[in-house]
Amino acid sequence: MMTIRLFFYCEATPNFVLMMVDDLGIGDVGCYGNDTVRTPNIDKLARGGVKLTQHIAAAPLCTPSRTAFMTGRYPLRSGLGAKGRVQVILFLAGSGGLPPNETTFAKVLQTRGYATGLVGKWHLGVNCESRDDHCHHPNNHGFDYFYGLPFTLYDDCKPGGKPDILGDVQGKLWHLSLVAAVAFLTLVSVRVTGLFEVGKKTIGALALLWLASFSVWYVPFKLLGTWNCILMRNRDVVEQPMNLETLTGRLVSEAERFVERNQHKPFLLFLSLAHVHTPLFKSKGFAGKSRNGLYGDNVEEADWMMGRVVDVIEKLNLSERTLIYFTSDHGGHIESSEASGGWNGIYRGGKAMGGWEGGIRVPGIFHWPGRLPAGKVIEEPTSLMDVYPTLVNLAGGELPKDRILDGHDLLPLLEGRSRRSEHEFMFHYCGMYLNAARWHPHNSNAIFKVHFFTPNFSPPGAGGCYETKHCMCHGGYVTYHNPPLMFNLAEDPSERTALTAETEPRYTEVLRQISQAVEEHRKTLQPVPNQLSWGNVLWKPWLQPCCGTFPFCSCSEARGSSGPAG
């Protein structure tokens, strides 16, 4: 009897493979309308599964969006909504991150006997008080196994890359060190030549000022490739700095081996790609192969990586027991000159642009042969936060009762047992500020969306914040609207023509309904520590992960394949 029950448990409990691309625009994928970039593996998942056309990220930037994905909750509930310019984790040796008291879906699945693995990008912090407490680390948030980037990719990770983190601050510190150096040398020269008397204490103070300003600039910023751009296996640093040329192959191999190791028990694999975040890869076998430049090469390489993982699942005859999910953490970064091929489709805006649709509407595909219908398209509003309750319920787990979840189980919608999304209202944040909200009225196909403020694009007339590279959410960087800008996404998904009381009969009702929903939503928010405060995001040497004796951190891992040869 015990053998039969154990066999039933294994057969009835599905595996989960979640695949997330970084900064991928919804228009970058073939099945979402791109006819120049080849994504055959993603398109195959869509043909054999369910495609969501209004799949919404909870934030238009990495750290808050991934927080919401992992917890099923709006990111400001976890303290990961920013007040100022810093909207993501900037330094791996900062003390902010996903709080240890959050319950991720991986934690819940662990209690159900799942083997849980994360391969790829994390970007939700590592340490709190010492370099080995790992309070924010994936191993402390439900993942038995972690291999990948505890941080993310920045231009600093690429040899010769331009400064990418707090570039203006770096410039001011550099100029301060230059001024201090010039002043120090001038006074030394004056003292040596005897032009007038200069005290040793004055010269010593200037020397200390120069040394301090130079160190504050050089150590945290000029060594960023060493501090931030590392690879970890579980809690051990295995490469510092990481080699981007071989990263693709190693991530794929780790994902394949995780599936092979755990094929005889239920498993969760979260493949969190470093693609297509800048700096873009120039991998052998993909460079120069697409019709959309280097960016297109990277999208096609990401598609190949996901195809490799799907092939392993099929080879091991796990397809009918495995739910595969594909998405992006948010929209494409349109201000990046390197990512000139990125496309958010017909939708306005992009990464870091608050509630504009181009930054939060992302691809979403669920594939599960024998369980989900093939070729089904769902146009109802859904959220990345919905993945949490969907996985937990399928695994037979129990959703946390001590906190508010903002996601909803998608299975009734995916299977066709329900035709309406449970999201009557959705709230869109820019940092910690409520930027926009949408309302999907009952018994109506309309989807009304209002913007309480919008980012100021620069230069004026541009379609993004090209002067700052990312849009901001506060102060003079935004324009408030009273009354709010209103659109009906069912008729105007590009958000081009704002509605008025003269053009929309329900105008007053929409404002009233959304205002009431916002008021109720705000009642559910509780004050929590701000994980993205300056005190939490700045570099702290005592928190720096290091594979040697700090500050002499340097190691390399055996090289892996970087993709197909031709």
Catalytic sites, residue numbers: 62, 123
Tokens at 184, concatenated: 């120090």
What amino acid occupies position 531? Answer: Q
DSSP state letters, 186-238: HHHHHHHHTSS---HHHHHHHHHHHHHHHHHHIIIIITHHHHTS-EEETTEEE
Q: How far apart are CA 63 and CA 532, in angstroms?
A: 10
According to DSSP, residue 164 is labeled -
What amino acid occupies position 335? Answer: E
Per-residue CA distances from 75 to 63, 120, 126, 456, 474 (Å): 9, 21, 17, 23, 17
Strand partners, 120: 148, 272
Residue (of 365, 299, 273) closest to 55 by Cα position: 365
Per-residue CA distances from 278 to 43, 155, 180, 303, 462 (Å): 24, 7, 35, 17, 21
Q: How far apart are CA 251 and CA 560, in angstroms?
A: 9
Beta 425-430 vs 433-439: how paired, if at all? antiparallel
143, 106 Cβ separation under 8 angstroms: yes
For the beta carbon of residue 566, count every other beta carbon within 10 angstroms: 6
Q: How far apart are CA 131 and CA 145, in angstroms?
A: 19
Q: How far apart are CA 454 and CA 495, in angstroms?
A: 12
